A and B are shown apart, each in its own frame.
Chain A
Amino acid sequence: MSVLSKLKETLVCLKAGRVTLPYPAQAQPVPEKFRGRPLFDAAKCTGCGGCANNCPAREILLFDLCQEIRILQYLGRRCAYCGRCADVCPEKAITMSHEFETGTNSIGDIQQRVELFMSTCQRCGRCFKEPSALEQLKLKGYRVDDVAHERWVFRSKSYLDTEPVVDDIKIEMD
């Protein structure tokens, strides 16, 4: 038996004392830069689509109801809390909040839906000022994500039609 090392190990434990935090009975503050659930500010958002185009988890859907109304929907399902949406937003309309206990039995609690009145041209997508060439909009024009089924559609259109989109695999930039 290595008594000496056992004694040394005991000393390590004794010196440490009790360290367990009383979470979740008592909430712990998070640091300033913490990346929690993104919150969308409908008053600031211009609907440029930059966040939706650069979200790695495809958590943000866009649907153009008509020329003037664009729906932006945050799904809150598989968000990676990476904060890229907040990074690229030219209007600073997204904040990474300090909320992290987002477990819920009804997804509606975390989903967000913003209905936007579009005064700028939706077709060019130019109102999104990309930070670098790697964030540029690849899907320009009208967006037709499948909001009802929470599915990103890899397609954008230069005109609005009512046909449902099939064959959404190819990226079309017309």
Chain B
Amino acid sequence: MVAREKLNQLKEKFGGAVQRADMPCNERLFVFVEASALKAVCQYLFRDLDARYVISIGMDDRPFSGKFMVAHDFAFDQDHLLCSVLTHLPADNPKVDSISDVVPAANWAEREIRDLVGIEPVGHRYLKRLVLPDGWPDGVHPLRKDFAWNQVPEGYDDTREFKFDEPPEGCTVVPFGPFHPTLDEPAHFRLYIEGEMVRGCEYRGFMVHRGIEKLAESVLTYNEIPMMAERICGICGCVHNVAYAQAVESAAAIKPPPRAEYIRTIMLEIERLHSHLLWVGLACHIVGFDTLFMQSWRIREPLMWIAEKISGNRKTYALCVIGGVRWDITAEVKGELRKVLDKLESEWTPVVAAVSKDKNIQKRTRGIGVADRALVKNAGLVGPVARSAGVNMDCRRDHPYAAYDRLDFDVITENGCDVWSRVLVRAKEVFESIKIIRQCLEKMEDGPLQLTIKDELPVGRIGLSSVEAPRGESHHFVITGENNRPRRWRVRAPTYQNLQAIPAMIKDQQLADMTISLGSIDPCFSCTDRMETIDLKSGATKVWTQEELLKLTRTKKT
């Protein structure tokens, strides 16, 4: 009864400030506290009980309780417990004590709450706009319930400019992004450079914020959201699909049939395999080693084909609905999947053997992008970044979901804290994933794929789900609601925490190492949105316009 134990500790320390608590099961704890005690409770959890900070969520609960709400989620990894500390705030002029000076990892989350819900974190030291675009008027908060999903705010000003900070003395500013070959999405870093050394940076991102949460809360329905959730990320889409389904299932106390749990596990591991191979390839590409980039992508390709065979698509598997999965793994596919895994294993082993001794790669990655244990704790880093700093944490083992509690696998850790260690962690995790899928194929029992849900889901229940994505923990927070859709759904992708540590990771290292440091947390690249061709004979260049390019891709003719 870990949950009860923690609750008793809280009650003992804070007495009446703990208003109410829910323990729907042994792995979840929801504590409602007085707003005035929120910060102290979080500090106690984070510093004294050594909880890991996950995310903060702001909610407009006015239509239901007449109040605003803030929740801070924490995880006790060794105790297999996810815990949410919630508080109610008055309907007008909502303010909450900022926890970011005791829990630095809450920096972004609190700024996001201020932007989107309009709850002021009092005492936050850097209250700059984070999520909303530059031209968005002040004082308009899109995640409030009285703001319609398709509303265009009055006073939107395209010409308004974002005010960047002044660089420190003696530094020049070098812009990195919004479009840069090593970024998978537009994001802008203003690097402060002194000579060749990076001394700091300012980040301006969220340029592809699509408002999926708002859509889910106001337009979509429970079983439509999974298909949109997987579009949050092009690489670990299935993770969001499963995490959302699990969050709703945990809120509504639904348990999917065992076969569905095994299939979820298999698809998640196929996704991890393809993502890790993709990442190793891209990391090699960033440091200029294209041979291995090609090879690891070649080795990865059969995984994409088997995923397509199972789900009907290479990516975006559209796997889950609430209470189960949509695609079966037939006996025929089982045999094929086994063959794909054997081939993968036999091809990946020599690659790892070669790479792990390759001095050239090590020269570019050792001692670069350092994130040590202290940074992992304070910035709430997750996944391979945490494991490369020797932090033994993996949601598959710590907060078991799907069929992971019935499987046997190792959590890979390294102690280098640098990019090289992250290469090793990911390269070795490939073998663990192969092991996991093989066990699933062995143990998978026959049975239904979906549970039939006869009644509408209960209203106002909270569900949490943490899924270990290839890049780290993906955390979903759901409050069920009326009209067949959630009231609030908050997604925290692993990069949300990992990206916050980039300024610390690149500080005082060479500018040339920026790309691989950044690449080491997040594995995608972007395509540029126009291209240039050169006629080799005449040397004449032609720049393609967006329209010409579109036409070219659609007709395959110039």
Contact = CB atoms under 8 A, between A and B. Distances in A.
B549 to A, nearest CB: 11
Interface string B160-186: 000000000000000000000000000
Contact of A4 (B223, B313, B357): B357
Interface stretch (A68-76, A78-86, A120-128, A140-148): A78-86
B358 A5 contact: yes
A166 interface: no
A33 B484 contact: no
Which 4 interchain pairs have the tightest Cβ spacing?
A: A103-B554, A8-B354, A56-B224, A35-B312
A14 B77 CA distance: 45
A81 B313 CA distance: 9
Interface of A: 1-2, 4-6, 8-9, 11-13, 16, 19, 24, 30-31, 33-35, 54-58, 80-84, 87, 96, 103-105, 131-136, 138, 154, 169, 171
B530 interface: no
A103 B553 contact: yes
Nearest to B295: A12
B154 interface: no
B535 interface: no
Contacts of B457: 133-134
Contacts of A56: 220, 224-225, 227-228
B500 interface: no
Contacts of B221: 54, 134-135, 138
Interface string B300-319: 01000100111111001010
B353 interface: yes
A9 B452 contact: no
B256 to A, nearest CB: 13
A25 B553 CA distance: 14
Nearest to B309: A31
Given A58-B219, A81-B316, 14 more contacts: A5-B357, A5-B358, A8-B353, A9-B291, A9-B358, A12-B347, A12-B354, A16-B295, A33-B311, A56-B220, A83-B312, A103-B553, A131-B452, A169-B150
A83 B226 CA distance: 12
Nearest to B231: A80
16 contacts: A9-B292, A9-B295, A9-B354, A13-B291, A16-B295, A24-B556, A33-B312, A35-B313, A56-B227, A57-B227, A58-B219, A80-B316, A82-B316, A105-B550, A133-B456, A133-B457
Contact of A133 (B219, B313, B350, B453): B453
Given A8-B350, A8-B353, A35-B313, A134 B222 contact: yes
A83 B227 CA distance: 10
B221 to A, nearest CB: 7
Interface in B529-558: 550-551, 553-556
Interface in B307-359: 308-313, 316, 318, 321-323, 326-327, 347, 350-351, 353-355, 357-359
A163 B308 CA distance: 47
A11 B292 CA distance: 12
Contact of A134 (B223, B294, B305, B554): B223
A84 B556 contact: no
Contacts of B294: 13
Nearest to B556: A24
B483 interface: yes
A84 B553 contact: no
A33 B317 CA distance: 12
Residue among A13, A30, A33, A55 with most chain B CB within 10 A: A33
Contacts of B125: none
B484 A134 contact: yes
B350 A12 contact: yes
Interface in B112-141: none
A132 B223 CA distance: 10
